[in-house]
Amino acid sequence: MTFTLAIVGRPNVGKSTLFNRLVGRKLALVDDQPGVTRDLREGDAKLFDMRFTVIDTAGLEEVTDDSLQGRMRRLTERAVDMADICLFLIDGRMGVTPTDEVFADILRRRGAKVILGVNKAEGKAGDGGAIEAWSLGLGEPVRMSAEHGEGMDDLYHILRPLAADFVERAVADAPVVDVDVSDEEAEEEADLEAHKPTLAKPLQIAVIGRPNAGKSTLINKILGFDRLLTGPEAGITRDAISVRTEWLGTPTRIFDTAGMRKKARISDKLEKLSVADGIRAVRFAEVVVVLLDVEIPFEVQDLRIADFAETEGRAVVVAVNKWDLEDEKQEKLAELKEMFERLLPQLRGAPMITVSAKTGRGLDRLHAAILKAHDVWNRRITTARLNTWLGAMTEAHPPPAPGGRRIKLRYMTQVKTRPPGFIVMCSHPDMMPESYKRYLVNGLRDHFDMPGTPIRITFRGQGDKNPYRERKFHTPSRLRKHMASKDPDQKW
């Protein structure tokens, strides 16, 4: 049994730096400017021999309206309610501010178990702030430096007894086990267990798209509650946030990513970090959902994003959001299909689903399309079937003969999945034109029912496989004399 620790405090006191220190990786974006973190980010933390869940939160602001800062504050307050323990950080170099006093009072009124941490307290620079921290009335402050790893042992000694309390409580609330049952009951339970579905590894899904396409709203609708920060402003999401859920019976891990604008328009350092974090999430994912805005679909940036997902070798599903705002649905759907086939030929056959993140319409079809795309992405075809198909394809359309030298396709085999990868052994592989490669890829999609998934084909030359080319034979002396008498000029 573990516990949950939420790191809270004003902006720019080092919450994300401490989060990265506890999880052992640079997951959260860190920058000198305040207010970088906006969403709640969870991670598996390790502090010596202790394991727990840590939550990085947005900086607390003295705002209670429906502005962006107000919504961020409500999300942080929700994290305080979710957590077992709160680590309230202040800046040791700045000392206690009036805002710190306000939030300390909020934490006391909420009845949360609070540990007071004084960050940036390395050396003598944090002495004054550590002394002032006593005035908050939250107990003895822990001096630490998240940047340099100082004070982690003190934090461990404070967390350790609190963690033991949670374990004892969990044991007391645990269900009764090792109960004697009769033979009849045992047979009935065995039948039930045999028909239970096994819990598979979570399906990794990344949702990508341009800013304000509705990615966070879509994930909130899948989760069933407002877990991610949303709003009318474009570019709210900065970190690539991963959340775990069970979506229609499927264990799932969904990555929400920052909106990706054109590279030429990205000048801010923080936006560059956000886009890089989203790209990293795509590389972790198995299925990528490219989310489009129905009002401005298939813009140049949308095409680049979809092509990037295909280049990375991920199963791709295209989802068109805000479908509830469209009046002429049939005409618009026909137009979208035509644009999809024309502008994204490399994803020919990939599913395109119309959804509404606001109302939840179409999410069941999106779930089915993701499962099918994942199944195709993992598909394996036997070598016998591949070579039968290859023979029919070459008979219907023989390979070209550049320079009068016919390219011969000898055999084909699948060497990998996720995505499907094939090797074709042939003569003159360096002369194989790209058009014939596309012909084989499209044939694979049609014949083996692999729509949309990236397919990799590599042409490889066999070379001369004659095992006797470099081998020297010993000719018997009588045979040498006989051959020499027939041909005196030849040396035997």
Q: Which residues are annotated as a binding site for GTP?
A: 9-16, 56-60, 119-122, 209-216, 256-260, 321-324
By CB atoms closer than 10 A (0-12, 13-18, 19+), residue 246 is exposed
- Distance (Å, whole) CA 456 – CA 437: 10
Alpha-carbon distance of 282 to 388, in angstroms, equals: 36
Query: Is residue 263 packed enough to be buried (19+ CB in 10 Å), middle (13-18) or exposed (0-12)?
Result: exposed
Find out whether 36 and 71 touch, Cβ atoms under 8 Å: no
Candidates 4, 8, 80; CA nearest to 37 is 8
Give the position of tokens 């340099």. Answer: 148
Please give the order of strands across the beta sheet that includes 113-119. 41-47, 50-56, 4-9, 85-91, 113-119, 142-143
d(CA 383, CA 411): 9
Query: What does the alpha-carbon distance between residue 450 and residue 375 come to, in Å, rounded to a whole number?
Result: 9
Geometric angle at alpha carbon 138, from 128 and 143, rounded to 5° = 40
Helical residues (DSSP H) of 224-311, grouped into ranges: 269-284, 300-311
3-state secondary structure of 287: strand
Other beta carbons within 10 angstroms of residue 30's beta carbon come to 17
The annotated binding site is made up of 9-16, 56-60, 119-122, 209-216, 256-260, 321-324
Both tokens of 188, joined, read 């009935």
Task: Report the alpha-carbon distance of residue 343 to residue 461 in Å, rounded.
Answer: 34
Take residue 325 and report the two structure tokens written for it.
């705002």
Q: Which of 332, 327, 317, 414 is nearest to 366 (CA)?
A: 317
